[in-house]
Amino acid sequence: MRKYPLEKYRNIGIIAHIDAGKTTVSERILFYTGTSYKIGEVHEGAAVMDWMEQERERGITITAAATTCFWAPSYIEEGEENKHRINLIDTPGHIDFTVEVKRSLRILDGAVVVFDGVAGVEPQSETNWRYADDYKVPRICFINKIDRIGASFEKSFKSIIERLTPNAVAIQLPIGNESEFEGVIDLIKMKAFRFEGEHGEKIVSYDIPEKLMEQAIQMRSILVEKVVENDEELLNDYLTMIEEQSAAEGQSKKKEIGEDDLKRVLRKATLNNNLVPVLCGSALKNKGVQLILDAVIDYLPSPVDLPPVKGINLKNESEVERRPEDGEPFSALAFKIAADPFVGSLTYFRVYSGVLKRGSYILNAVKENQERAGRILRMHANEREEVEEVYTGDICALVGLKDTTTGDTLCDVENPIILEKIVFPEPVISQRISPKTKADQEKMGLALRRLMEEDPTFRVSGDLETGDTIISGMGELHLDVLVERMRREFVVDANVGRPQVAYKETIQETSKAEGKYIRQSGGRGQYGHVWLKVVPLESGKGFIFIDAIKGGVIPKEFISAVEKGVKESMSKGMVAGYPLIDMEVTLYDGSFHDVDSSEIAFKIAASIALQEAVKNAKPVILEPIMKLQVIIPSDFLGDVAGNLSSRRGRIDSISDRDNIKVIDSMVPLSEMFGYATHLRSMTQGRGVFTMEFSNYERVPKNVESAIIEGKK
Ligand code: GDP
């Protein structure tokens, strides 16, 4: 039996720019909810959520660990019946780990976005905010570090309104600032709160200080106005109230919209992404974190607030829905595979419908094979609990699944469904990697394979056995981290080459070609014969194979061999040997021989035809283009912009923010190696940038020549 009703579940993530305080906030949450008994300081490397050694060293969170904790809102009795189950899904802040953010956004229902109260909105917060928009994730904001010198709630709040959403609405105000920061005013209750005790665990409510009263009244009326707009009845009440008040000016005591109404409608508006409540505090100084938890419960969705998940019924390819109910057939999404030192591999999954019992069989609908749910674990920050049964809304981990990768749907064997996949970007950077010793060589293949299973944006190509191997990923740091993990977790030492841009090739015109592989002199012969047509596709469309054979001129059993041959030759393009993308290949004619035809003969014929067709279709090299945002003090604008142009950058816009300039541009990745160092020296260390993959574009002729000659 389920212990916590589904309405009392919150599956949430904490999203933040690196250093905004996500780890500290998560850790305080685990402390106040009683999951962790110790408050570790991040800089001492004791934070519970950052459980990977390497994350501690780098001070960044790489892995999205899911942790369960419980909270009864601080404003009601702490009874078992008031407790909510909060599954906290950790997300990384660094841009090279965008994939982790994306995959966690796919499975969480709501998010707390943490900001640094000095810096306000930072570039990465913008990127992650847009992703959260894509997934329609309801959010609340927490402006952290109000205790820091230079912190400003007003400025940070304004930056949220201006740069992220006009729907942000303050539901709190800080009392004091910087070292004087003492607590927060709750604008809904119109009460002040202080946090006493060694770790701020005691919440003390008091009257709003006189000097802040006026500001609080003003902010509350903005809040009320924004909220009532979302409910017709409340809006009418409000308008009537205003009329009555102005008629009876100064005579009667002012009426107010009640706390319950405000909360109810604010919840509704937050769930619909029409409003984003904004809170503030200092996680480090233990001020305001419990009120984040209250707000998570008050304003973020439970699984029942969400529409049913959609998927494809494997039996008849029709679209089907699963309601978030235990009575529905089981469906879940595997969102993370993690190598685990104790139990091998852990598959984190989120249950969208139904119930899963330990020991039962489930279907991996994507791989179309069955797996046994041998052991199910619920992850707490510092312990794992074996569970017999998991229910709709749960986030748990399965031990030892054999053939499940990130993004696969797990479901009831009798009711196969494929939930919408998580789409991951293609890697843009690669490095040659070779084992240091013979012993390393044996282990390297296994290690790389494991890491690839975990991380869908990490690819390995080349020959794993001989050790002549290329690894590819989303950025320099991404690959660094993986090589480092290989060393630590799998004890494999390797030499890595210079990072190289993952160029691709494509065609610009349509063309047709014939491929023949015929050997018929004595003994059993070979006979394969095809005609292929190649057509360029729009950027990002990938590869499409069309079988247009009529009248059995090539028998069915050889068609897949043709497709295989095509795919194999597409892995090496005609211009400089980079993989071909964005093209459609149609097999439309050919012939066969009753005795001599074989799969291998058709495969070879297909590859001959493909190479010929591509040669005649004006092939070109493509390069990854990155979206770059650079933030610098105004004085350095000329130098930095000039330097971007010399890196073949195209500046889209330059905007002002206080005393700084924000340059948005598109730049080829190949020109960006070492940019961090260069920017630092150009700006006396004051410039910062973020960069993410945007699209592939054709390289200019002179660069193409350099690439072909191996100079780039
Ligand atoms: P993350 O990178 O977002 O996980 O950020 P961390 O939680 O690791 O915090 C980054 C740094 O900011 C650490 O040195 C923290 O001690 C510090 N920090 C976190 N919260 C606060 C806060 O509320 N006030 C101050 N002054 N520092 C904080």
Q: For residue 19, give the ligand 1 atom closest to its CA.
A: 2
Q: 614: pLDDT confidence band, cut at 50, 70 and 90?
A: very high
What is the secondary structure of 339-352 as a DSSP string? EETTTEEEEEEEEE
Q: What is the pLDDT of residue 250?
A: 57
Q: What is the pLDDT of residue 130?
A: 78
Q: How far are the Cα atoms of 330, 364, 402 from residue 373, in angstroms, in the given order?
A: 13, 11, 11
Mean pLDDT, range 33-51, rounded to an integer: 51
Q: What is the pLDDT of residue 61?
A: 37
pLDDT tens digits, residue range 311-366?
988 777 789 999 999 999 999 999 888 776 667 788 999 999 999 999 999 999 98
pLDDT at 216 over 80: yes
Mean pLDDT, range 558-584, rounded to an integer: 93
Q: 658: pLDDT confidence band, cut at 50, 70 and 90?
A: low
> Does any ligand 1 atom lie closer than 6 A to the CB of residue 92?
no
Region class of 190: left (phi > 0), else alpha (psi between -120 and 50), else beta: left
> Does any ligand 1 atom lie closer than 6 A to the CB of residue 19?
yes
Q: For residue 281, give the ligand 1 atom closest to its CA.
A: 23
Q: Is 596 helix (H, G, I), strand (E, B) or coil?
A: coil
Q: What is the pLDDT of residue 689?
A: 79
> Does any ligand 1 atom lie closer than 6 A to the CB of residue 91?
no
503 burial type by CB count under 10 A (0-12 exposed, 13-18 middle, 19+ buried):
buried
Q: For residue 287, give the ligand 1 atom closest to its CA.
A: 23
User: Which of 14, 15, 19 has the most ligand 1 atoms within 8 A of CB, as the residue to mutate?
Assistant: 19
Q: Whose CA is nearest to atom 16 of ligand 1?
A: 42
Cα(47) to centroid of ligand 1, in Å? 11
Cα(50) to centroid of ligand 1, in Å? 13
> Does any ligand 1 atom lie closer than 6 A to the CB of residue 49?
no
Q: Whose CA is nearest to atom 6 of ligand 1?
A: 21
Q: Compute the distance between CA of residue 264 and CA of residue 390 in angstroms, rounded to an integer.
A: 30
418: Cβ–Cβ under 8 A, 6 or more apart, which residues? 311, 312, 314, 365, 366, 409
State residue 491 phi and psi, 5-degree precision: 50, 50
User: Which of 17, 31, 42, 180 has the most ligand 1 atoms within 8 A of CB, as the residue to mutate?
Assistant: 42
pLDDT at 267 over 90: yes
Q: For residue 60, give the ligand 1 atom closest to its CA.
A: 2
pLDDT at 62 over 50: no
> Does any ligand 1 atom lie closer than 6 A to the CB of residue 457?
no
Q: What percent of the chain has pLDDT over 70?
A: 90
Cα(212) to centroid of ligand 1, in Å? 27
Cα(362) to centroid of ligand 1, in Å? 42
> Does any ligand 1 atom lie closer than 6 A to the CB of residue 16?
yes
> Does any ligand 1 atom lie closer than 6 A to the CB of residue 43?
yes
For the ranges 134-143, 441-450, 591-600, 617-626, which has the lowest average pLDDT?
Answer: 441-450
Cα(13) to centroid of ligand 1, in Å? 17
- Closest among 369, 370, 388, 368 to 378, alpha carbons compared: 388
Q: Whose CA is nearest to atom 2 of ligand 1?
A: 19
pLDDT at 550 over 70: yes
Q: What is the pLDDT of residue 41?
A: 44
For the ranges 32-41, 234-243, 616-625, which has the lowest average pLDDT?
Answer: 32-41
| Residue bearing the bigger pLDDT, 623 or 16 | 623
> Does any ligand 1 atom lie closer than 6 A to the CB of residue 152?
no
Q: Whose CA is nearest to atom 28 of ligand 1?
A: 284
684 burial type by CB count under 10 A (0-12 exposed, 13-18 middle, 19+ buried):
exposed
- Closest among 110, 10, 96 to 60, alpha carbons compared: 96
Q: What is the pLDDT of residue 622?
A: 94
Cα(634) to centroid of ligand 1, in Å? 27
The gap from C-alpha 42 to its chain's centroid, in whole angstroms, comes to 23
Q: Whose CA is nearest to atom 14 of ligand 1?
A: 43
Q: Compute the distance between CA of residue 113 and CA of residue 92 in angstroms, rounded to an integer.
A: 12
pLDDT at 699 over 50: yes
> Does any ligand 1 atom lie closer than 6 A to the CB of residue 200?
no
> Does any ligand 1 atom lie closer than 6 A to the CB of residue 144?
yes
Cα(19) to centroid of ligand 1, in Å? 6
Cα(690) to centroid of ligand 1, in Å? 20
Q: Is 49 helix (H, G, I), strand (E, B) or coil?
A: coil
Q: Whose CA is nearest to atom 17 of ligand 1?
A: 21
Element housing 525 (H / E): none
Q: Compute the distance between CA of residue 252 and CA of residue 343 in angstroms, rounded to an integer.
A: 69
Q: 54: pLDDT confidence band, cut at 50, 70 and 90?
A: very low
Q: For residue 282, give the ligand 1 atom closest to its CA.
A: 23
Element housing 242 (H / E): helix 232-247
- pTM across the whole model: 0.73
Cα(25) to centroid of ligand 1, in Å? 8
| Average pLDDT across the chain, whole number | 87
pLDDT at 376 over 80: yes
pLDDT at 99 over 70: no
> Does any ligand 1 atom lie closer than 6 A to the CB of residue 173?
no
For the ranges 279-288, 417-426, 541-550, 567-576, which has the lowest average pLDDT?
Answer: 417-426
Q: 589: pLDDT confidence band, cut at 50, 70 and 90?
A: very high
Q: What is the pLDDT of residue 124?
A: 67
Q: Compute the distance between CA of residue 258 and CA of residue 602 in angstroms, rounded to an integer.
A: 76
Q: 466: pLDDT confidence band, cut at 50, 70 and 90?
A: low
- State the Cα angle at 166 between 164 and 167, rounded to 5°: 105
Q: For residue 61, give the ligand 1 atom closest to its CA.
A: 4
User: Which of 22, 24, 43, 153 has the most ligand 1 atoms within 8 A of CB, as the residue to mutate?
Assistant: 24
Q: What is the pLDDT of residue 66?
A: 79
For CA atoms 368, 372, 378, 379, give the dihedral sign.
Answer: negative
| Residue bearing the bigger pLDDT, 564 or 91 | 564
Q: Compute the distance between CA of residue 581 and CA of residue 426 in angstroms, rounded to an integer.
A: 11
CB 106 within 8 A of CB 244: no
Mean pLDDT, range 616-642, rounded to an integer: 91
- State the residue for tokens 């390289």: 699
Mean pLDDT, range 557-583, rounded to an integer: 93
Q: Whose CA is nearest to atom 19 of ligand 1?
A: 21
Mean pLDDT, range 175-179, rounded to an integer: 95
Strand partners, 419: 311
For the ranges 58-67, 231-240, 432-441, 641-650, which has the lowest average pLDDT?
Answer: 58-67
